[in-house]
Amino acid sequence: MNVEHRARRLLRWYPKSWRETHDEEFLALLEDSMVERPFSPNRSLNVVMNALRLRSVEFRSTPRRLLLTSSTPLIVLVAVIGLTTNVFGLASSSGPTKGGMPSGYGPGFAYSKIPDYLAVSISSNETGYTPKAYIVSPSGSSNNPLDGRIAPIYASDLTTLLGHLYPGVGYVRLGTSPWSLPCLGESTGSVNANGIQTVTSIPCSSTMIVLPNVVGVYTPTAVGKLSSLGVGVVVENIHSSSVPPGHIVSVSPSSGTTVYARQQVIVENSVPK
């Protein structure tokens, strides 16, 4: 059973309404945890019990309360099995950790020593928390699918969604359009083969840009071209039998699409098998 499948099995314990909001980031945390500690019954029990607590809260306000009450002996039995065996294979006895980036963080720093949720300053007197997978990559990984993406920001309870952190835009409170915020001056630089440096200002996020066709283009050239237009580029590596390694396989949104400046654009870079 691979890591993702095991993590998704655990995630199914949570209510559907909770999964619709937290599925992606919590799944990333579970997968990271399984890679670091493949077998941990106590962590599995913690995930299951927390999920059951959330289901209990949900059921209290519905006619399904009776179902929860009548199922209590079965729930206790399942919890005992999870504690004494490796059926579930994951999770933490103390729940997700939160805090600031540890002092001394840098190359070679153990990913497991970084809190599960990292503190983000969202105002002069308010702090939010985002899953670490959106901020840093696991040790030895240079292609974390969440690193650099639009990151969810939670309150200190780690479940109440406050807003999102947009690369190149900043923190955007829930219900606010990131493209309506005041422009913060930014620029990007490039150096050509003759050593001449060019600095290009990134337009405000309300500016509209038409994405050029960079499919098949050498990846560094394509990334530089897109960045100079003012969009945020996220590179994902994939195996391709039709596109040479180091060249662009596809772009999302697709070429010709009109997007806002500073919006994220995903480019798939071909890598050899």
pLDDT, tens only, 166-191: 887 889 999 898 888 777 777 776 66
Span 223-252, pLDDT tens digits: 988 988 888 888 888 888 889 999 999 999
Kindly report, residue by residue over 81-131, the tens digit of the pLDDT.
Answer: 555 554 444 444 457 888 998 887 877 788 888 899 999 888 888 999 999
Task: Clarify whether residues 246 and 191 are in a common domain.
Answer: yes
Residue 116's Cβ-side half-sphere holds a number of Cα atoms within 13 Å equal to 20
Q: How many distinct structural domains can be found in the chain?
A: 3
Residues 127, 192, single domain; the answer is no
Confidence of residue 215 (pLDDT cuts 50, 70, 90): very high
The predicted structure's pLDDT at residue 218: 94
Structural domain includes residue 39: yes
**Residue at 108 is within a domain:** no
Q: What local confidence, expressed as pLDDT, does residue 96 receive?
A: 85
Check whether residue 168 and residue 210 sit in a common domain.
no
Supply the pLDDT for residue 259: 92
Task: Indicate the pLDDT class of residue 47, thresholds 50, 70 and 90.
Answer: confident
Q: Of the residues 33, 63, 84, which one is the last residue of a structural domain?
A: 84
Q: Which of 160, 179, 198 is the last residue of a domain?
A: 179
Q: Helix-strand-coil percent breakdown of the chain, rounded to 5?
A: 35, 25, 40
User: Which of 84, 105, 133 marks a domain boundary?
Assistant: 84
Whether residue 272 is predicted with pLDDT greater than 80 in this model: the reply is: yes
Contact 152, 162 (CB under 8 A): no
Q: Which residues lie across from 265 on neighbouring strands?
A: 233
The answer to whether 129 and 160 have CB atoms below 8 angstroms apart is no
**Dihedral-angle region of residue 27 (phi above 0 means left; psi in -120 to 50 means alpha; beta otherwise):** alpha
In 3D space, the residue among 119, 116, 129 whose CA is nearest the CA of residue 162 turns out to be 129
What is the average per-residue pLDDT within 25-38?
72
Residue 50 lies in a domain: yes
Are residues 191 and 129 part of one domain? no
- pLDDT higher than 60, residue 63: no
Domain that holds residue 146: 116-179
106 vs 65: CA distance, rounded Å: 49
What is the amino acid identity at position 51? Answer: A
Mean pLDDT of the chain: 78
Instruction: Look at 132 and 59; give whichever has higher pLDDT.
Output: 132
pTM of the model: 0.57
Residue pair 164/151 in contact by the 8 Å Cβ criterion? yes
> CA 263, CA 132: separation in Å to the nearest integer?
21
* Of the candidates 224, 221, 245, 243, the residue with the CA atom closest to the CA atom of residue 233: 224
